[in-house]
Amino acid sequence: MDWVYNVPIKFHEYDLNEMKRRLNEFSGNILFIASKRVINTFSFEVSNFQVLNESISNPDVHTVQDILNQIKKPDLIIAIGGGSSIDLAKAISSLYEYKNNDILDLLKNKNYLDNTNSIPFIAVPTTAGTGSECTKWATIWDFDNNKKYSIDADYLYPNESWLVPKLTSTMDENLTLATGLDALAHAMESYWSVPSNKYTRVLARDSIRIIKKYLPLVLSDLDNLEYRQEMLMGSFFAGLAFSNTRTTASHSISYPLTMMFGINHGFAAALTLFEVLKRNWNYIAEKDLFLDAWDAKNLEDIKKWFDEVSNNRLKLSNFGVNKEDIPNIVKLATTSGRMDNNPIIFTEEEIEDILNSIY
Ligand SMILES: [Fe+2]
């Protein structure tokens, strides 16, 4: 079968000092996106830059519009943070040109696709999970209307992505678990996605192998830099895999969970992961190699791992969802480009069944 693999990004793995040296080489009209906490914890010298240091999670249309009005057009953006900060860099890069227009209209009509003046940017993840350093898309939320938009354009791959394990070491236990599970969801969903191919499956399996081993270890020893480095690589390989396949049913069902109940993206994606795996099982390629990556004999072994790593927390009832909410979640759970990327397109009844089995 024909397939192609494309990620036009320069990746560097740096230790913190090398990264700071690299940062000091830049001057001029640079927009530096990082929270105050990140800037202070790692003593980043940013006086030369235009700095955006609010900590923003899940950027929405209002936030993006306000920021576009508030900044001066930079020549380069450097974003150090979780997926939200890197997504914000992508939003600024693609939408700055249109800052006098209504952002919601732009997102709906996708006029930004014609942008020939996008702003170059460097992505530096501080979490090991979102994979945003590997992809050409970003999520912008419209909480007023319970909607989620993807900005998605070939020019939106980061120009460079820097992998610096030390930067991920400030995550607490909860964020380490949530982002680690998000990375695992990217790897697993990529594996069974419709466009999955031999190469993306190698990347996905390696990611699964690493996360299966190192997520429990790092959760028991948050300061261990070797474990942090392994998790960053696990997330990176998942990012490389799903950058070319995208995600599937679990991410599709996750969006209303985040929108309606504020559930962290990683937990929202991971909640349905095992139930989706079970239902997809007959359609998964190279099953033996998949089980091998898990070091599992059967699906029950995988279920056991999820229960143990999460302390049995992956249940809707633990995240403020009531049983009566399930039909409303179902109505918003089918995102095009995600659900139809799953080997089976689940019906509303099947989605309801999945949600009931994780209640
Ligand atoms: Fe994700």
Does the residue 98 lie in any domain?
A: yes
Q: Are residues 126 and 273 in the same domain?
A: no
Q: What is the DSSP string of 91-132?
A: HHHHHGGGTTS-HHHHHHHTGGGG-S-PPPEEEEESSSS--G
Residue finishing a domain among 138, 165, 192: 165
End residue of a domain, out of 165, 180, 213: 165
Residue 130 CA to ligand 1 center (angstroms) comes to 5
Q: Please give the distance, rounded to the nearest whole angstrom, from the Cα atom of residue 47 to the centre of ligand 1.
A: 33
Are 340 and 233 members of one domain? Answer: yes
The pTM (predicted TM-score) of the whole model is 0.96
- What dihedral do alpha carbons 104, 108, 111, 113 form, nearest 10°? 110
Boundary (domain end) residue, out of 132, 165, 198? 165
CA 165 – CA 129 distance, rounded (Å): 12
Question: What pLDDT is recorded for position 333?
Answer: 96
Chain-centroid distance of CA 203 in Å reads: 16
Q: Alpha-carbon distance 19 to 30, whole Å? A: 16
Q: How many CB atoms lie within 10 A of CB 341?
A: 23
Task: Domain of residue 102: give its range.
Answer: 10-165
Q: Report the number of distinct structural domains present in the chain.
A: 2
Q: Report CA(235)–ligand 1 centroid distance (Å).
A: 10
* Domain-located, residue 195: yes
116 part of a folded domain = yes
Q: Express each pLDDT in 182-224 by its tens digit.
A: 999 999 999 999 999 999 999 999 999 999 999 999 999 999 9
Alpha-carbon span 292 to 204, nearest angstrom = 12
Residues of the chain with pLDDT under 70: 1
Q: Give the tens place of pLDDT for each residue, 28-42.
A: 899 999 999 999 999
Backbone dihedral region for residue 81 (phi beyond 0: left; psi -120 to 50: alpha; all else: beta): left
How many Å lie between the centroid of ligand 1 and the Cα of residue 239?
9
Q: How far apart are CA 36 and CA 53, in angstroms?
A: 5
Extract the tokens encoding 15.
């230790």
Centre of ligand 1 from the C-alpha of residue 181, in Å: 9
Give the sheet arrangement for strand 121-125, strand by strand.
Answer: 10-13, 160-163, 121-125, 76-81, 30-33, 50-52
Q: How far is the CA of 350 from the centre of ligand 1 (A)?
A: 22
| Identity at 206, one-letter amino acid code | D
Report how far residue 318's alpha carbon sits from residue 338's, in angstroms, rounded to the nearest whole number: 25
Give residue 222's pLDDT.
Answer: 98
Same domain, 59 and 207: no
DSSP for residue 58: S
Query: Residue 310: which residues within 8 A CB-CB, separation 6 or more?
Result: 177, 181, 270
